[in-house]
Amino acid sequence: MSAWAAKRPCSRVGCAKLVTNAQPCPEHGRRPWEHDQPSAALRGYGHRWRKLRALVLAEEPTCRYCRHAPSTTVDHVIPKAKAGTDERANLAGACNRCHATKSGREGRDGR
């Protein structure tokens, strides 16, 4: 956009700040990696977790819940939000569908 172009409102709905391009203003212009959530490592999913995850997927190549789809994710049998741990006994190999279903149910139960 030219330096002579008219300023436009921020592309964020409801923001009236004027900018020189069609982008959000500095207040709303966060990059995708800039968010309020701590990093995966700070949330407990660092190197140790990646090694444990690989172990669980190797030991349980088939989903523990449906017993036919390949395991693609590791599920906490007792969720961390309900005092579940990263101990091997509390981890299960799960397919994406079963994991999403179980996580959705747990989220609804938590509300």
What is this structure's pTM?
Answer: 0.66
pLDDT value of position 87: 96
Would you kindly state where each structural domain of the chain is located, as residue ranges? 59-110
Contact 57, 63 (CB under 8 A): no
pLDDT value of position 31: 64
Contacts for 57 with CB less than 8 Å, ≥ 6 apart: 71, 72, 74, 93
Average pLDDT over residues 75-87: 93
E-assigned strand segments in the chain: 8-9, 18-19, 73-76, 91-94
Q: How far apart are CA 22 and CA 43, in angstroms?
A: 35
Helical H segments across 1-111, by residue range: 47-59, 96-110
pLDDT value of position 16: 81
